[in-house]
Amino acid sequence: MPAHETQMSGGVAPGRGLPRDLLFALFCAAILAGEARPAAAFEIFGIKLWGSSKDEDADIVDPLRYSVTLNAPDADKDLVKRLENASALKNDEDHPVSGSLGLMAKARGDREQLVAALYADARYEGVVTITIEGKSIDELPPDAEFKGPQPIPVVISVAPGAKFTLGNIRLKGDAAGLASADFGLIAGGDAGSGAVLKAEALIVRALKDEGRPLAKITDREIVAEHASSTLDVTLTVAAGPVAAYGDTTVEGTEKVDRDFTEYMTGLKRGQQYSPQEIDDARDRLLGLEVFNSVTIKEGDSLDANGNIPIDVQVSERKPRFFGLGGTFSNTEGLGLEGYWGHRNLFGQAEKLRI
CATH of the domain at 306: 3.10.20.310
Tens digits of residue pLDDT in 181-214: 999 999 999 999 999 999 999 999 999 999 999 9
- Contact yes or no for 336/325 (Cβ under 8 A): yes
pLDDT greater than 90 at residue 43: no
In terms of residue numbers, what domain contains 134?
63-159
pLDDT reported for residue 166: 98
**What percentage of the chain exceeds 70 in pLDDT?**
84
Residue 198 to residue 166: CA distance in whole angstroms: 14
Estimate the crossing angle of helix 99-120 against helix 193-208, to 10 degrees: 70
pLDDT for position 58: 64
Q: Which of 210, 238, 266 is the last residue of a domain?
A: 238
Q: Torsion over CA of 220, 225, 226 and 227, rounded to 10 degrees?
A: 180
The answer on 174 and 155 residing in a single domain is no
**Phi/psi of residue 62, each to 5°?**
50, 60
Confidence band, pLDDT 50/70/90 cuts, at residue 54: low
Residues 282 and 198 placed together within one structural domain of the fold: no
- Between 275-286 and 258-265, two packed helices, what is the crossing angle to 10 degrees? 130
To the nearest whole percent, how much of the chain has pLDDT over 90? 76
Q: What is the pLDDT of residue 55?
A: 57
Please state, in angstroms and rounded to a whole number, the distance separating the CA atoms of residues 50 and 350. Answer: 39
Are residues 104 and 148 located together in one domain of the fold? yes
**C-alpha–C-alpha distance, residues 336 and 246, integer Å:** 53
Is there a single domain that holds both residue 155 and residue 200?
Answer: no
> Rounded mean pLDDT of 13-22?
41
Per-residue model confidence as pLDDT tens digits over 94-119: 999 999 999 999 999 999 999 999 99
Q: Choose the final residue of a domain: 209, 238, 267.
A: 238
Q: Is residue 127 pLDDT above 50, yes or no?
A: yes
pTM given for the model: 0.76
CB-side neighbour CA atoms (13 Å) of 332: 6
Considering the domain boundaries, does residue 184 fall inside one? yes
Convert the pLDDT of each residue in 213-272 to its tens digit: 999 999 999 999 999 999 999 999 999 999 999 999 999 999 999 999 999 999 999 999
Whether the CB-CB separation of 237 and 215 falls below 8 Å is answered with: yes
Residue 116 lies in a domain: yes
Number of domains within the chain: 3
Q: Which pLDDT score, from 0 to 100, does residue 53 have?
A: 53
Residues 92 and 137 in one domain: yes
Quick one: 79 and 154 in the same domain? yes
| Residue 196 within a domain | yes
